[in-house]
Structure 1
């Protein structure tokens, strides 16, 4: 491998693994949602059946 290929390999590994580590650390700090969006008490989603299609 040429030196430039090794440099780009190391750079890409640092970007990928660094992004993974940064996202894990971010999610560790903000794991829970502070407030959920408002919704109705009963939105009747369980009343809707799964769509049945003839094949």
Structure 2
């Protein structure tokens, strides 16, 4: 992606969004199988993280 998109993302001009369903499932599986979070907490963590800017 162009550098201007990165700058717009960092500034908050481009909106944040949740990861695609397949990628989100992969992240959840990794958090659960890695014994870092239970499934419910992993889902809540990802949903919450998608609302915070970098």
Same fold (TM over 0.5): no
TM-score, with length taken from structure 1? 0.30
TM-score, with length taken from structure 2? 0.30
Give the structure with higher Rg (CA): 1
Higher relative contact order, structure no. (Cα contacts within 8 Å, ≥ 6 residues apart): 2
- Name the one with the larger helix percent: 2
